[in-house]
Structure 1
Amino acid sequence: MKKLVQGLLDFQRHSLPAYRSTFARLAHGQAPDCLFIGCADSRVVPNLFASTNPGDLFVMRNVGNMVPPSDAAGLSLSDRSEAAALEFALLTLPVKDIVVCGHSGCGAMKAILSGYNDQKTPNLSSWLDVGRPALAAFERGGKIGEGLAPYDRLSQYSVLQQMENLKTYPLVRDRLAAGTVRLHGWWFDIGQARVHAYRPSLERFTPIDELEGERMLKELERPSGVEEASTSAA
């Protein structure tokens, strides 16, 4: 807590002048064009590794960066918080891209892999059930994350599963069909401080280096509907 308070004071003394006009503008409203779904893990800081400013990202974080699927009417089959953030992002904000970002060494993935179910943590145990379909996909076998530790492979499978879960929401499905929203699967390697993006054509996550970054930027400039094929790895 001391570091938090000292950081606030440091921001006010040294950084605030450079951001004063930004926050003055943001006081009138926000207009992020990306919904970033990430893990609550303290080591995953999207504004840092993506060099974004206040107002750039609408961020939804939870244990394991998961999104429960919905029923046919669009009602979440589990916790409603994620669905609420999704509805707000797509119906209230100018969001055109949704990023699901997993990461290495994820405690949630390790717990799912171990079959965690502790009566002392009923809410956590219930929440981890959202990750079971990803575990089933992982156990069926495939190329995703070859060479990585099992929990890191599961983390990558989970990113793809959450993208499929997002498609169960009519709001997302309709916008995907209309080409007004895009889904992206990312995975953050904490040790290397490098983000990987899923390439459906390669069936793997690829480090976003200069070459890959340029390719992605060109792809984003294409008309909607001509991106790489399905994200599913199930």
Structure 2
Amino acid sequence: MKKLVKGLVEFRKNVRPHYLETFAKLALGQSPDTLFIACSDSRVVPNLFASTDPGDLFVVRNVGNIVPPCHRTGLSAGDKSEAAAIEFAVHELKVSNLIVCGHSECGAMRALLDKTIVEQMPNLGEWLMDGEIIMERLQHDHDCPPQLAKHNRLSQLNVLQQIENLKTYPLVKQKLQEGSLKLHGWWFELSQAEVYAYEEEEGKFILIDEVEAEKILQRIENSK
């Protein structure tokens, strides 16, 4: 808490002056082009590793970057907070990209593998029930790199499952069919601070270096 308070003073004195014009414009409205769904983990900082500015990302964060699927009624099968954010981002903000970003050493994935972790946390246990389907995928998965620890393989599969869950939302499905929305799966490796993107044709996560970044940008450009 001390660091936070001191950081506010530092921001006010040395950073705020450079962003006053930006925030003055943002006070009139926001127009991010991306909804970024990430884990609540304090080590995952999207604005840092993606070098984004205020107003660039509409962010949803929860334990395990989980997106509860939608019922046929159009209502979320789980917590309505994620569903509300998805609808607002797609319908109101008209974002053109949805990114699900998982990460290595995820506590939620460890908890899925070891149920004793949530014995004293019933709400967390209930929340992670949406992740049980990923456990099934892990049993039959042959694509994740074998050198990855089990919880990290589960984390990558979790990203792919949440992308499938996003497709169950009527608004998302509609925009995908129209070609005005793209889904992306990213994975942040903590120890090296590297970000990987899932390439469907190759069936694996690829490091986003200059070459991969150019491929992603070209794909976005061609879809316009």
Residue of structure 2 in register with 1:110 after alignment: 110
Whether 1:38 aligns to 2:38 is yes
| Whole-Å separation in 1 of the counterparts to 2:12 and 2:25 | 18
The structure where helix makes up a greater share of residues is 2
| Whole-Å separation in 2 of the counterparts to 1:116 and 1:166 | 29
Three-state SS of the structure 2 residue aligned to 1:188 is strand
| Whole-Å separation in 1 of the counterparts to 2:185 and 2:80 | 22
Contact 1:198 1:206 in 2 (8 A): yes
| Whole-Å separation in 2 of the counterparts to 1:223 and 1:166 | 20
After TM superposition, list the pairs within 5 Å mapping 1:123-142 onto structure 2. 123-142=123-142
Give the 3 Å change call, closer, same or farther, for CA 128–75 of structure 1 in structure 2: same
| Whole-Å separation in 2 of the counterparts to 1:133 and 1:189 | 23
Residue of structure 2 in register with 1:199 after alignment: 199
Residue of structure 1 in register with 2:95 after alignment: 95
Per-residue deviation, 1:94: 2.4
Q: Normalising by structure 2, what TM-score?
A: 0.97
| Whole-Å separation in 1 of the counterparts to 2:44 and 2:116 | 23
Three-state SS of the structure 2 residue aligned to 1:168 is coil
Higher mean C-alpha displacement, 73-82 vs 59-68: 73-82
Match for 1:168: what amino acid? T
Match for 1:146: what amino acid? P
Contact 1:145 1:156 in 2 (8 A): no
Residue of structure 1 in register with 2:184 after alignment: 184
| Whole-Å separation in 1 of the counterparts to 2:103 and 2:188 | 4
Instruction: Give CA-to-partner distance per residue, 1:136-162, whole Å, 9 cap, x none.
Output: 101112212331010000000000000
Match for 1:173: what amino acid? K
Instruction: Give CA-to-partner distance per residue, 1:81-102, whole Å, 9 cap, x none.
Output: 1101101111110200000000
**Number of aligned residue pairs:** 224
Instruction: Give CA-to-partner distance per residue, 1:202-229, whole Å, 9 cap, x none.
Output: 11000001111111111110025xxxxx
Give the 3 Å change call, closer, same or farther, for CA 167–116 of structure 1 in structure 2: farther
Three-state SS of the structure 1 residue aligned to 2:205 is strand
Contact 1:145 1:152 in 2 (8 A): no
Match for 1:45: what amino acid? V
Q: Normalising by structure 1, what TM-score?
A: 0.93
Higher mean C-alpha displacement, 44-53 vs 137-146: 137-146
Name segments (4+ residues, structure 1) moved above 2 Å.
115-120
| Whole-Å separation in 1 of the counterparts to 2:161 and 2:97 | 17
Unpaired runs of 5+ residues, structure 1, are 225-234
Of all paired residues, the percent bearing the same amino acid is 54
Match for 2:65: what amino acid? N
RMSD: 1.1
| Whole-Å separation in 2 of the counterparts to 1:143 and 1:90 | 31
Give the 3 Å change call, closer, same or farther, for CA 103–73 of structure 1 in structure 2: same
Per-residue deviation, 1:53: 0.2
